[in-house]
């Protein structure tokens, strides 16, 4: 390609979820809860839990390999790897570097970007911008999470909501205008960081016997506040991106929402006046897999034939930070 690319397209997608299924009934062994409570409040029936020796980079590498296979590209075509995760194997090196090594990618720029459940949309925009400036040829972007490693299995208000898994996409520049990643609308509000966070393990509260005793290395959440904020910011991001691009919600073939809670998605559906049957849903099987949620759903939607050539798809997410994002994609 001699001049700058006119667009960036999704060349392939892949996903991976561990085999081990944990049902709502299984959770009653750890906390006082019930399938009825969890399902009616969230829409979740079960989630996948990684084995003790399976890491975020292991899962990410499998999803990445599958995305590469579906793209038809080779390992040596990739020169940019970006991962999104809040459960990296370790603080450093980055999960992207670990995935690079597991795949045998020898010549790439690799980094992690952390935007919690909005992470995949964040890395998608960053990778797309880097490809559009013409300096990189193909990007591998991966959202991967082992949330089971930071859940407090004694806290019923959080441990029932999340699961493990990974999703990935290969992005490539294209000379065809108006296809692929049409637009993004990302946002953040750090002043609301305390509604969903993990206090320990960083420079504020490094690991110590005290921090372990105080249960600082677990995810903490004020669920009701998160619920309200999620609905507000997802609705706003979706409306803004549609308006900015002169797109009527009738023109959307598929919506891939962050899979956190069915009631949140139902509210978004009614506020955007987009029927529920256009939303791709898998949270019943996987719960909330944070940065992996959108790419797993995207991969499943492609493989199920829910997204066809020429279709316009909206992706919309929110997460800790607070962060949020929407992306509009037209399949080539
Ligand atoms: N099983 C049974 N009871 C539970 C429970 C569980 N797993 N978790 C909480 N409860 C209880 C509470 O202790 C409370 O009891 P009380 O009235 O005796 O105090 C009652 O259920 C209601 O709790 P509340 O927190 O008000 O419930 P809710 O209807 O708001 O639902 C969430 C809780 C977490 C499901 C909901 O707020 C939510 O989904 N929020 C968004 C979370 C999210 O998506 N986070 C990820 C963001 S990326």
Cα distances (angstroms) measured from residue 277 to each of 46, 203, 208, 288: 21, 45, 49, 20
3-state DSSP percent of the chain in helix, strand and coil, to 5 = 40, 25, 35
* Ligand 1 atom closest to 260 (CA): 44
Same fold, 7-177 and 181-330: yes
Cβ(314) – ligand 1 distance below 6 Å: no
Nearest CA to ligand 1 atom 11: 157
Residue 242 has pLDDT above 80, yes or no: yes
Rounded Cα gap, residues 202 and 88, in angstroms? 13
Cβ(261) – ligand 1 distance below 6 Å: yes
CA of 157 from ligand 1 middle (Å) equals 5
Cβ(224) – ligand 1 distance below 6 Å: yes
Cβ(192) – ligand 1 distance below 6 Å: no
Nearest CA to ligand 1 atom 23: 157
CA of 116 from ligand 1 middle (Å) equals 20
Nearest CA to ligand 1 atom 15: 157
2 pLDDT band (50/70/90 cuts)? low
Domain assignments of the chain as residue spans, ordered by start: 7-177, 181-330
Cβ(288) – ligand 1 distance below 6 Å: yes
Report the CATH number of the 181-330 domain. Answer: 3.40.47.10
Cβ(157) – ligand 1 distance below 6 Å: yes
Cβ(33) – ligand 1 distance below 6 Å: yes
Residue 132 has pLDDT above 60, yes or no: yes
Tell me the pLDDT tens digit for each residue of 55-97: 999 999 999 999 999 999 999 999 999 999 999 999 999 999 9
5 pLDDT band (50/70/90 cuts)? confident
Cα distances (angstroms) measured from residue 312 to each of 64, 224, 250: 24, 32, 10
Domain 7-177 part of CATH 3.40.47.10: yes
* Ligand 1 atom closest to 224 (CA): 37
Burial label, 185 (beta-carbon count in 10 A; 0-12, 13-18, 19+): buried
**Structure-block tokens of residue 272:** 């955007």
CA of 231 from ligand 1 middle (Å) equals 16
Where is 96: in which H helix or E strand? helix 95-103
Residue 33 has pLDDT above 90, yes or no: yes
pTM: 0.97
Tell me the pLDDT tens digit for each residue of 165-221: 999 999 999 999 999 999 999 999 999 999 999 999 999 999 999 999 999 999 999
- Active-site residue set: 117, 258, 288
**What is the model's pLDDT at position 133?**
94
CA of 15 from ligand 1 middle (Å) equals 29
């Amino acid at each position: 390609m001699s001049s700058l690319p006119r667009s960036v397209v999704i060349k392939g997608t892949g996903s991976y979820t561990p085999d081990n299924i944990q049902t709502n009934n299984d959770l009653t062994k750890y906390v006082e809860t019930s399938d009825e409570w969890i399902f009616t409040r969230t829409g979740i029936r079960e989630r996948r839990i990684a084995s003790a020796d399976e890491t975020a980079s292991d899962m990410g590498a499998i999803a990445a390999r599958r995305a590469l296979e579906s793209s038809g590209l080779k390992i040596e075509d990739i020169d940019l790897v970006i991962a999104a995760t809040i459960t990296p194997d370790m603080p450093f090196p980055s999960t992207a570097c670990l995935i690079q090594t597991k795949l045998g990618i020898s010549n790439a720029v690799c980094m992690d970007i952390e935007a919690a459940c909005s992470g995949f949309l964040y890395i998608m925009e960053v990778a797309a911008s880097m490809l559009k400036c013409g300096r990189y040829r193909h990007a591998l972007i991966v959202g991967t999470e082992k949330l089971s490693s930071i859940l407090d299995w004694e806290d019923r208000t959080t441990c029932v909501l999340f699961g493990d898994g990974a999703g990935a996409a290969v992005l490539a520049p294209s000379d065809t205008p108006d296809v692929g990643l049409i637009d993004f609308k990302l946002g953040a509000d750090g002043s609301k960081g305390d509604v969903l966070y993990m206090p320990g393990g960083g420079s504020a509260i490094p690991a110590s016997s005290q921090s372990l005793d105080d249960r600082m290395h677990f995810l903490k959440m004020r669920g009701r506040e998160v619920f309200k904020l999620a609905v507000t910011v997802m609705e706003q991001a979706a409306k803004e991106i549609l308006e900015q691009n002169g797109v009527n919600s009738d023109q959307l073939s598929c919506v891939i929402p962050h899979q956190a809670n069915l009631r949140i998605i139902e509210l978004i559906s009614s506020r955007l006046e987009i029927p529920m049957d256009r939303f791709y849903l898998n949270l019943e099987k996987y719960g909330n897999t944070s940065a992996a949620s959108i790419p797993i759903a995207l991969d499943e939607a492609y493989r199920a034939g829910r997204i066809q050539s020429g279709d316009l798809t909206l992706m919309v997410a929110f997460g800790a930070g607070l962060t949020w994002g929407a992306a509009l994609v037209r399949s080539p």
